[in-house]
Amino acid sequence: MEKFKIGDVVVLKSGGPKMTVAKDYNNGNYHTNWFTSGTLKWNDFEGQTLTKVYQDDKIEIDIHNS
């Protein structure tokens, strides 16, 4: 299983928004934050459902919706 650090950008393996790891519960679960239409969202996910977004991956940022 992939281990994530606070600040890593991740996505669900099934797709969805890019999320930032905000907390590692040290039990395989992670707390993540992301924005949808300018609104902060958050949730906890099992690490097995996440994959890391690497620096070379394209990340689109909407600066007009911040």
Question: Is the confidence at residue 26, as pLDDT, over 50?
Answer: yes
The secondary structure of residue 53, as a DSSP letter, is P
Any alpha helices (H) in the chain, and if so which ranges? none
- Neighbouring CB atoms inside 10 A of 21's CB total 20
- Looking at residue 32, what is its pLDDT? 98
Question: Is the confidence at residue 24, as pLDDT, over 60?
Answer: yes
Question: Is the confidence at residue 62, as pLDDT, over 60?
Answer: no
- Mean local confidence (pLDDT), 16-29: 97
pLDDT band at 9 (very low <50, low <70, confident <90, very high): very high
Phi and psi (nearest 5°) for 56? -75, -15
